[in-house]
Structure 1
């Protein structure tokens, strides 16, 4: 992986996003039906927050022990909105920022997803998983490998 290549070369562009006013029931449906761990929260194409599956599950913790708790969970999911639990102060990168920048942000902040913007609009997301996949797809050249 070329760490000076732009993040656009490894970012995901097929995003599932929600509006700040969407219920947590909608967010739960997205997490349950898609293999994703982060949902950007967008208002009029402008990124205003992000919800991680970890944060969402933390919100739900303790509300599924029995049938009564399941009912309470259902009520909470309809009553609470995305903006109530989203992370608002976000690290983000620009579409042409080098992968090296994303790596440094991940390392420094111990986060796993970075929204990618272009001209102030969300255009993608780059995750630690995207970086791992890019590394795993690289071919190892015999000349690059040195025995110890």
Structure 2
């Protein structure tokens, strides 16, 4: 297929024609360990992150989990964890407690701590060409689809390619 044939194949299609309406979401308070298990269980590589009020607040991927699990927490990150456990008016954690936090970071750190807060989305009525442009220009793999601000689907670069062949 030539470039113009690709464009013709996509002409007139709306995102709704390609999107998957089943979107598995994760909550921002989930532990990294729970998040990793969720990805494995569902065979997915990423998911939108929602807050308690169902607001879309970020996106997290398997790569984020791997990067987190293969590095050492910084002192700043340990301080944030300490504040989380002790509260704003609590005291400092002892060396033993800090060692415990380091060893169990994947159980103590949350999706919110490792997610990308920038979320790319399009309205359900947007043309597929807008999705292609965003995916290419922003170097992303998935685009979330909304209807009146509510998450209703997801479309991936792979979904678009499948429509072309």
| Structure 1 length-normalised TM | 0.78
Where do 5+ consecutive residues of structure 1 fail to align?
64-70, 137-148
Structure 1 position 16 matched with structure 2 position 24: yes
The correspondence for 1:84, drawn from 113, 116, 124, is 113
Structure 1 position 118 matched with structure 2 position 160: no
Where do 5+ consecutive residues of structure 2 fail to align?
1-8, 73-99
Q: CA–CA distance in 2 between the matches of 1:61 and 1:40?
A: 22
1:132-147 correspondence runs (5 A)? 132-136=161-165
Q: Name the Cα RMSD after superposition.
A: 2.1
SS in 2 for 1:30: helix
Q: CA–CA distance in 2 between the matches of 1:30 and 1:133?
A: 26
Find the counterpart in structure 1 of residue 63 from structure 2: 54
Q: CA–CA distance in 2 between the matches of 1:15 and 1:130?
A: 14
The 1:25–1:10 alpha-carbon spacing in structure 2 relative to 1, beyond 3 Å, is same
Select between 51-60 and 18-27 the one with higher mean Cα deviation: 51-60
Question: May I ask how many residue pairs the two structures share in their alignment?
Answer: 129
1:98-117 correspondence runs (5 A)? 98-117=127-146
| Structure 2 length-normalised TM | 0.70
SS in 2 for 1:33: helix
Larger Rg: 2
- Measured after TM superposition, the shift of residue 103 of structure 1 is 0.2
1:83-129 superposed Cα distances (whole Å, 9 cap, x missing partner): 10111122211111111001000111111111111111111111112
- Measured after TM superposition, the shift of residue 52 of structure 1 is 1.6
Structure 1 position 35 matched with structure 2 position 43: yes
The list of structure 1 runs, each at least 4 consecutive aligned residues, that deviate by more than 4 angstroms after superposition, is 71-74
1:41-75 superposed Cα distances (whole Å, 9 cap, x missing partner): 11223211110222222222258xxxxxxx98971
